[in-house]
């Protein structure tokens, strides 16, 4: 009888500890997933295709990033948008529109607006919010996605975090920490967007999903496909590269 009581006490004593371990593991998984796609710095060439029921449009771009605080995106095609640029420095977001010669500082209210008419938001591209620091993480299951064994992690925003999603579920592969699926839920618990990662290939020694599809769930026939053409990690891009002046002249 005494041994049974001890066993019961041990189970109850371990329950808070077990929850802490799983929470820590989930955060570590998200951090490794995020680091896999960023590195200390990243230079990439990307093609984005906006698909609609009766038309589609392709945008080509170059992007540079340094950690989580600095990023710069330059549109290179189509011709009418060539030279348009977006810059993030810390919490400040800037947009350069060469056709009208204007530099616009983007307020936080614009972060959830469509980026260049696509199904990605401004926040998705310049990443004002952080999957690592703006959310609490919980490991809630394991599933097979695209043939990979994956962790399923539920992310809920921390108080006062600059995010609008009430919950984001993320599937991350166990071996390579690949982000293979994400589901975005609003404050009513409705599924709004699904993002899929596929066509895993090697970029600069890292296995990366080369194709990302963002699919709105309430708009039949709508999706945006983002395809990485090249990725170069850890090339030592200086902080000075990410300036408003350079945003206007980078090529």
* pLDDT tens-digit series, residues 21-33: 445 499 999 999 9
User: Between these two residues, 10 and 241, which has the higher pLDDT value?
Assistant: 241
Q: Where are the domains of the chain?
A: 24-249
Residue 199 pLDDT exceeds 90 = yes
CA distances to 64, 66, 98, 130, 235 from 238, rounded to whole Å, are 11, 8, 24, 21, 9
Flag whether pLDDT at 109 surpasses 90.
no
Q: Quick one: DSSP state of residue 126?
A: H
Higher pLDDT pick, 50 / 14: 50
The answer to whether 213 and 36 have CB atoms below 8 angstroms apart is no
pLDDT at site 160? 84
Q: What pLDDT shows up at residue 113?
A: 85
The answer, yes or no, to whether residue 5 has pLDDT greater than 50, is no
Q: What is the pLDDT of residue 164?
A: 80
Closest CA to 233 of 34, 47, 86, 66: 66
3-state secondary structure of 100: coil
Helices and strands in the chain, H and E counts: 3, 13
Which residues pair with residue 188 across a beta bridge? none
The arithmetic mean of pLDDT across residues 94-115, rounded, is 88
Q: Can you read off the two tokens belonging to residue 5?
A: 């009581």
Average the pLDDT over 81-98 and give the result. Answer: 92
Residue 181 has pLDDT above 70, yes or no: yes
The confidence band for 16, taking pLDDT boundaries of 50, 70 and 90, is very low
Q: Does the pLDDT value for residue 147 go beyond 90?
A: yes
Q: Which residue has the higher pLDDT, 38 or 12?
A: 38
The full length of the chain comes to 251
Sign, Cα dihedral of 160, 165, 171, 177: negative
pLDDT at residue 128, as a whole number:
55
Task: Name the percent of the chain lying above pLDDT 90.
Answer: 73
CATH placement of domain 24-249: 2.50.20.10
Rounded to the nearest angstrom, the gap between the alpha carbon of residue 134 and the centroid of all alpha carbons in its chain is: 12
Split at pLDDT 50, 70, 90, the class of 7 is very low
pTM: 0.84
Check if the beta carbon of residue 142 is closer than 8 Å to that of residue 152.
yes
Q: What is the pLDDT of residue 107?
A: 83
Segment 209-235 shows an average pLDDT of 96
Task: Please report the pLDDT score of residue 68 as a whole number.
Answer: 82
How sure is the predictor about 55, in pLDDT bands with cuts at 50, 70 and 90? Answer: very high
């Amino acid at each position: 009888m005494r041994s049974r009581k001890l066993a019961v006490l041990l189970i109850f004593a371990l329950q808070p500890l077990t929850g802490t371990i799983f929470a820590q593991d989930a955060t570590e998984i998200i951090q490794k997933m995020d680091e896999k796609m960023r590195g200390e710095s990243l230079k990439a060439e990307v093609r984005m295709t906006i698909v609609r029921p009766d038309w589609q449009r392709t945008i080509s771009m170059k992007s540079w990033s340094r950690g989580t605080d600095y990023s710069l995106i330059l549109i290179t095609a189509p011709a009418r948008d060539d030279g348009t640029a977006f810059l993030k420095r810390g919490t400040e977001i800037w947009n350069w529109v060469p056709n009208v010669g204007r530099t616009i500082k983007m307020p936080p209210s614009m972060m959830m607006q469509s980026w260049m008419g696509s199904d990605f938001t401004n926040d998705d591209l310049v990443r004002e919010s952080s999957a690592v620091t703006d959310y609490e993480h919980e490991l809630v299951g394991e599933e097979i996605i695209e043939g990979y064994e994956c962790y399923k992690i539920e992310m809920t925003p921390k108080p006062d975090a600059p995010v609008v999603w009430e919950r984001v579920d993320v599937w991350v592969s166990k071996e390579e920490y690949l982000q293979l699926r994400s589901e975005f839920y609003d404050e009513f618990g409705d599924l709004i967007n699904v993002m899929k990662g596929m066509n895993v290939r090697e970029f600069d020694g890292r296995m990366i999903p080369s194709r990302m599809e963002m699919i709105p769930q309430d708009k039949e026939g709508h999706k945006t496909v983002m395809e990485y053409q090249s990725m170069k990690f850890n090339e030592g891009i200086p902080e000075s590269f990410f300036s408003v002046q350079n945003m206007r002249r980078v090529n």
